[in-house]
Amino acid sequence: MATPQKLAGLHPFEYEHPFDARALDALQRTPGLDTVVRQFNKHAVERYCTVQYTGSNLRVTADNYPKIHALLDQVCDIINLPARPSLYLEWGYRINGFTTGVDNPIIVLTSGAIDLLTDEELLYLIGHEVGHIKSRHTLYHQMGQFFPVLADVLGEATLGIGRLVATPLQYALLRWSRMSEFTADRAGLLACQDTATAARVMMKWAGMPVRHYGDLRLESFLEQARKFDELDFEGLNKAVKVLSVLNQAHPWTVMRAAELIRWTESGEYQKVVRRETVSRVSVREEGSKRFCRQCGHCLSGGEKFCNSCGTKL
């Protein structure tokens, strides 16, 4: 595998998944969100998260785990995250990682991830988590994690009225959280810059037994992902969409692989690597349509400024 190239000036809008963008729009239009954000900040939930993870897990530094720390540095250099997050390890033999903290984000990886992934595969996993930080996903992710507590606080503060808006807001948070994984997956691929490596990580996530790691049938998994893609996720009925987000920390692994394959086979991934996407900072592209990121106005294609809000494009 070739050494991944640095993507100078990379902005998350260059590779943001449309599922993520649409779900975030829906979340931000949901009544009660601003109140929940205020309560979240008022009760210092982020500080609790920081104390929990920094007080219980092993911090990775250049001195104690130089090889792991070097992988984090490499990922941050590749996908342009100047401020280095802290990295911690926790015991657990599932391959997993997560990110918490808004102002001072930290990444936590499991022991299983370190032992069961190659260095190239760790670039993908760390890149996925760094992608969450680049896209500023962590605030809403933490709110989703602590939502039951926040809903109770909101209900008491509003004489019970807040509980009336809790269910739609919780669903919007859950759905956006799951859809944000598609954007983070793209960041992971940009970090390792090898589709086969990303697919191997997903195979291991999906349940590949350790004793068969030397016998990975990559093309079989990719074919499964392509067949899932034929189901047309956007066309699935509402009940299935609800089931896809409830009681799951991430969207279906095979569906995520299908979306990543779709992105690479469309040529859009290659455009980002070739740095042909820098103009997307002000414009959201969904298929053949382009939208102003400031106000959501549909653009005709040749504007230098949004005709609705005046934002420079």
Q: 83-115, pLDDT tens digit by residue? A: 999 999 999 989 999 998 888 899 999 999 999
Give a yes or no: residue 39 inside a domain. Answer: yes
Query: If you average pLDDT over residues 209-233, what whole number do you get?
Result: 78
Residue 5 in any domain: the answer is no
Residues 127-185: tens digit of each pLDDT = 999 999 999 999 888 877 777 666 666 555 554 545 555 677 887 888 888 889 999 99
- What pLDDT is recorded for position 153? 61
For residue 258, the SS3 value is helix
Judged against a pLDDT cut of 50, whether residue 239 lies above it is answered with no
The domain total for the chain is 1
Alpha helices in the chain (DSSP H): 18-28, 33-42, 45-54, 66-78, 111-116, 119-134, 138-145, 147-157, 162-192, 195-206, 218-229, 238-243, 253-265, 268-273
Per-residue tokens: 290: 């382009």
Q: Is residue 295 part of a domain?
A: no
Mean pLDDT, residues 302-311 taken together = 79
Residue 237 in this model has a pLDDT that exceeds 50: no
The pLDDT value given to residue 159: 47
Please tell me the predicted confidence (pLDDT) of residue 185: 97
59-71 tens-digit pLDDT: 999 999 999 999 9
* Containing structural domain, residue 141: 12-209+216-281
**Would residue 252 count as lying in a domain?**
yes
Per-residue pLDDT, 42: 67
Residue 184 is assigned to a structural domain of this protein: yes
- Residue 173 lies inside a defined structural domain of this protein: yes
